[in-house]
Copies of this chain bind each other. A is one copy, B any other.
């Protein structure tokens, strides 16, 4: 095995050197990102002043190829667990999984503090807690965007931002050490589908009050220009649905409600009904219809597949999950011909209205091929502009800095190279380099009321906590390394029944191997291995010892057979020698 793609080890070197500024730690605001600034995902931030702790978001991360078998990653919350009595509340900015997904795992461990968020986000959180049978443990307070929330030393105001899900908010947090503007996952959209643009007036007002620190979204900090309005996609969707002679199968992110709204509107204009499939989309649509975030342009627009079958093809849209080519998503099952009720037919047009999340490119391509093979026409981002990002581009990012005019700046939400790009932008629009802080997860930025700042030498515990099945945190580095070894070259168990008295083999060694080599074609190799094992045991058991050391024999067998197999195959399976004393 030549290791090729799995290179995600992140160099562990503090980005920003701890500074020697002297501050009274009890009189400082501590800003501590727990996740989301060395990766895309698991967003979570702590603000702390005196005895009060404020938590912002609790997101999931998704594993990369160095973490086989892992379902999700959540931030390490040891620090919060140890200080749970001081937590005044959790504020959630919006309803995406990388901001709410870890709530069911973390909330019970930190004393079920109250959650403050906007209506729709609250609904998504409740749905998720319900799935974990945790509903009701924490109180969820519904915010209005003009509310002022006081939690201990913090006085928090909110401002509406645009993003790929409704009800996204930014925070303006007044603390004794100044005003912090926290803006994660945002874009400026002057023509959002829901008619509710960013509250520029509030941003300008905060700027006027004097912002000590701006924390802002770095996802697209490398992309020049402006992000495109969601509404400009509407025309494309209208046209595609109008022009398609057969059925349209449309997939997007399940929480991209603006897009879903535009699909419904387009369906109405082209006289189509909509079938919704895929669990997360069905949930989203249900929640948003019930709360008014999604409005059907006509009655009875949503139909079942059985009804759709009775309609002409050009009166049908199928709205489905699977925009990332996820193996068990509705679209992937449709593409493989494994969906219970939906089959592709010639004349179908499939529209993938989403960007690939890095790492999903191959599975998306494979889904597209399967769809094309069944006769569908496929349209996706490479072919035409059918998606717009929910994250600000460079010019928007500059405008945010221009509006808030922060003294200090911290890029958040992105991989490290994106943070650095954002830091460069900030410098270009006039924030002095020494006022810009690109932190690592767990590092603390401290601000004091006099305006002094430092990156603390202390760092709270961080790192990935892996969720695998029911286990949270029970899979660590050792288990993952073992999985990696076995996944590349398999494993090879050698069982030796040794006589207690003599140390000799009581019977020929047993060998079990999986994932190493096709055993039925390798009888000769196995015979040789058994012969080698016998030689090793005999040599060792001849050594006059008070009693033969099984550990020593195991270690010799592991090394020598490992080497033997490598010579023969250039593979290094995991060798597991077992001694049974008889």
Footprint of B on A, CB under 8 Å? 1-11, 13, 15, 38, 62, 64-65, 68-71, 222-224, 325-328, 332, 335-337, 358-363, 365-374, 377-378, 382-383, 415-417, 419-421, 424, 468-471, 474-476, 478-480, 482-484, 486-491, 493, 495, 497, 506-507, 510, 512, 514-518, 521-522, 568-571, 574, 576, 578, 580-582
Contact, CB under 8 Å: B8 / A362: yes
Contact, CB under 8 Å: B488 / A569: no
Contact, CB under 8 Å: A571 / B469: yes
> How many angstroms from the CA of A392 to the CA of B337 in the assembled complex?
32
Within the complex, which residue of B2, B478, B515 is in contact with A483, where a contact is CB–CB below 8 Å?
Answer: B515
27 A-B residue pairs with CB within 8 Å: A1-B69, A1-B70, A5-B325, A5-B360, A7-B332, A9-B336, A11-B335, A13-B373, A64-B362, A69-B487, A69-B515, A69-B571, A358-B361, A359-B362, A368-B417, A371-B417, A372-B416, A377-B424, A469-B571, A482-B514, A483-B490, A483-B514, A483-B515, A486-B487, A497-B497, A507-B581, A510-B578
User: Which residues on B sit within 8 Å (CB–CB) of A64?
Assistant: 362
Contact, CB under 8 Å: B65 / A65: yes
Max chain B C-beta neighbours (<10 A), residue from A10, A359, A478: A359
CB nearest neighbor in B for A574: B514
Max chain B C-beta neighbours (<10 A), residue from A223, A471, A476: A471
Smallest beta-carbon distance A555→chain B, Å: 15
User: Which residues on B sit within 8 Å (CB–CB) of A578?
Assistant: 493, 495, 510, 512
Contact, CB under 8 Å: A571 / B471: yes
Given contacts A10-B370, A11-B370, A479-B518, contact A488 B69 (CB under 8 A): yes
Given contacts A327-B6, A417-B368, contact A491 B495 (CB under 8 A): no
Contact, CB under 8 Å: A374 / B490: no
> How many angstroms from the CA of A4 to the CA of B60 in the assembled complex?
15
Smallest beta-carbon distance A447→chain B, Å: 24
Contact, CB under 8 Å: A471 / B1: no
Contact, CB under 8 Å: B38 / A479: no
> How many angstroms from the CA of A580 to the CA of B332 in the assembled complex?
45
Contact, CB under 8 Å: A482 / B512: no
> How many angstroms from the CA of A368 to the CA of B221 in the assembled complex?
14
> How many angstroms from the CA of A474 to the CA of B516 in the assembled complex?
9
Work out how many copies of this chain go into the complex: 2
User: Which residues on B sit within 8 Å (CB–CB) of A13?
Assistant: 337, 373-374
Given contacts A7-B366, A365-B415, A497-B580, contact A474 B337 (CB under 8 A): no
CB nearest neighbor in B for A2: B71
Smallest beta-carbon distance A548→chain B, Å: 18
Contact, CB under 8 Å: A5 / B359: yes
CB nearest neighbor in B for A369: B416
Within the complex, which residue of B3, B327, B580, B582 is in contact with A495, where a contact is CB–CB below 8 Å?
Answer: B580
> How many angstroms from the CA of A576 to the CA of B512 in the assembled complex?
8
Smallest beta-carbon distance A355→chain B, Å: 12
Within the complex, which residue of B337, B361, B512 is in contact with A359, where a contact is CB–CB below 8 Å?
Answer: B361
Contact, CB under 8 Å: B474 / A71: no
User: Which residues on B sit within 8 Å (CB–CB) of A38?
Assistant: 369
> How many angstroms from the CA of A332 to the CA of B475 in the assembled complex?
27
Contact, CB under 8 Å: A490 / B327: no
Within the complex, which residue of B69, B326, B378 is in contact with A417, where a contact is CB–CB below 8 Å?
Answer: B378
User: Which residues on B sit within 8 Å (CB–CB) of A424?
Assistant: 377
> How many angstroms from the CA of A568 to the CA of B497 in the assembled complex?
32
> How many angstroms from the CA of A578 to the CA of B494 in the assembled complex?
11
Within the complex, which residue of B420, B488, B491, B582 is in contact with A68, where a contact is CB–CB below 8 Å?
Answer: B488
Contact, CB under 8 Å: B514 / A576: yes
Smallest beta-carbon distance A146→chain B, Å: 37
Smallest beta-carbon distance A291→chain B, Å: 28
Contact, CB under 8 Å: A4 / B517: no
Smallest beta-carbon distance A266→chain B, Å: 23
User: Which residues on B sit within 8 Å (CB–CB) of A571?
Assistant: 69, 468-471
Contact, CB under 8 Å: B478 / A569: no
User: Which residues on B sit within 8 Å (CB–CB) of A9?
Assistant: 336, 366
CB nearest neighbor in B for A481: B515
Within the complex, which residue of B4, B10, B518 is in contact with A369, where a contact is CB–CB below 8 Å?
Answer: B10
Smallest beta-carbon distance A232→chain B, Å: 18
CB nearest neighbor in B for A572: B469
User: Which residues on B sit within 8 Å (CB–CB) of A378?
Assistant: 417, 420
Contact, CB under 8 Å: A1 / B372: no
Max chain B C-beta neighbours (<10 A), residue from A7, A365, A369: A7
Smallest beta-carbon distance A376→chain B, Å: 9
Max chain B C-beta neighbours (<10 A), residue from A222, A377, A514, A574: A514
Listed from nearest, the 5 A-B pairs whose CB atoms lie closest are A487-B487, A469-B570, A369-B416, A7-B327, A69-B488
> How many angstroms from the CA of A13 to the CA of B580 in the assembled complex?
51
> How many angstroms from the CA of A362 to the CA of B358 in the assembled complex?
6
> How many angstroms from the CA of A331 to the CA of B362 in the assembled complex?
24
